[in-house]
Structure 1
């Protein structure tokens, strides 16, 4: 199964699609499965497809050997004339986000894996930020969040620094977190402000002071495949 690690220096791409109806989400998932199962692109390493839970949509967590390999894929006639038009019919927005993983930790201290077999409740948030504040936001969302290890139901937390994008203007940082279930995530969100530990209050205040936008959704992993499978 794909592994998330800040030690890996490969390119991580998050393709996030929104749509306006559950049946269109199913159409997106079917199209994405077909593409993933047929993938044999030079430099492609793995793809993991996520289905939206709170809002209709999908996310594809893709690992590439390099940006050059990804650009070859983007410049291919199939991508421009078949893949993008197909997704355009089913979506209300398309964001193709290129990232480097800069921080990752798990509650167990082991590596972070993503797979349909795990059953994680996954939260993906995209934070817009001024370019000059991007590194500060990475720190606020990364090392400053180590208190998560003490939160019941927490599984893992990964911060990705945006380096390029299609469908998103400006600088960004992505948070990818896994929880045991929806109840654990909801309980974490519901903690009253005065009951939050000081480290959490400080991290949240820093984050709020730096970001220019935020968009998030919750997901479940439904399909994955790696090169060679």
Structure 2
């Protein structure tokens, strides 16, 4: 196959509320940059060999804030994913290898419920190493009764984000179930122009935030029972169509 044809066959994963994919975020933390490199190597091997029924795409992220990796995986359905989890390879090779080089593992199954991009950039949230996005992934833990309100606050409640310098997109996922995580949760996946623009947004003193953001943040803080975040760069991706 010619190089031009290979390039033409490449497809870029898209985060969209129009798709009915199950989105899995596999989050691994570790203790050293060397272990992060090992994780990335193992994850890329799995992605490049993926041929599972119902698998749509996988996108590997390298931690920037602290040593970690993230894999954003799209599946046709939860049933397809469970067949993967029930397989001998996953139980007896994949998990043991990751346990050796991680300090924490979270396998989060999610439904995409909200997505927005900066005006003038189209409505598609593209995820690819060919882009230069500085990506933040936030996990918000919440009581089951408050999950729906929290999801709304994280998505529709943040209309003002489009005016924040450096903002590119944010997508909100409703947690459905998880391995190695207890309770309800929601996930925010956001893209930024740079580390500097993200940190300027993140570290703005609460007293100086615009009124709508301040009120929104206060309500989120009141609802959530825990929160953590890390930043990433996309380093590898592959889709079932390649």
Query: What's the TM-score, normalizing by structure 2?
Result: 0.93
- Matches of 1:208 and 1:64, distance apart in 2: 31
Match of 1:94 in 2: 105
Q: How does 1:167-178 map to 2 (within 5 A)?
A: 167-178=180-191
What's the CA shift for 1:109? 4.0
- Matches of 1:171 and 1:137, distance apart in 2: 11
Match of 2:79 in 1: 68
- Matches of 1:136 and 1:9, distance apart in 2: 22
- Matches of 2:174 and 2:27, distance apart in 1: 16
Match of 1:104 in 2: 115
Describe the superposition over 1:15-42 as per-residue Cα deviations: whole angstroms up to 9, x where unpaired: 0000011100000000000000000000
Q: 1:206 aligns with which of 219, 232, 237?
A: 219
What's the CA shift for 1:192? 2.8
Q: 2:204 aligns with which of 166, 191, 205?
A: 191
Q: 1:146 aligns with which of 140, 144, 159?
A: 159
Q: How does 1:1-229 map to 2 (within 5 A)?
A: 1-107=12-118, 108-229=121-242
- Matches of 1:212 and 1:165, distance apart in 2: 17
Q: Secondary structure at the match of 2:212?
A: helix
- Matches of 2:228 and 2:204, distance apart in 1: 21
Q: Secondary structure at the match of 1:40?
A: coil
- Matches of 1:196 and 1:92, distance apart in 2: 35
What's the CA shift for 1:228? 2.6
Describe the superposition over 1:3-26 as per-residue Cα deviations: whole angstroms up to 9, x where unpaired: 001121110000000001110000
CA RMSD in angstroms comes to: 0.8
- Matches of 1:22 and 1:192, distance apart in 2: 31
Aligned residues: 229
Query: What's the TM-score, normalizing by structure 1?
Result: 0.98
- Matches of 2:34 and 2:156, distance apart in 1: 39
Question: Could you list the runs of 5+ residues in structure 1 that have no partner in the other structure?
Answer: none
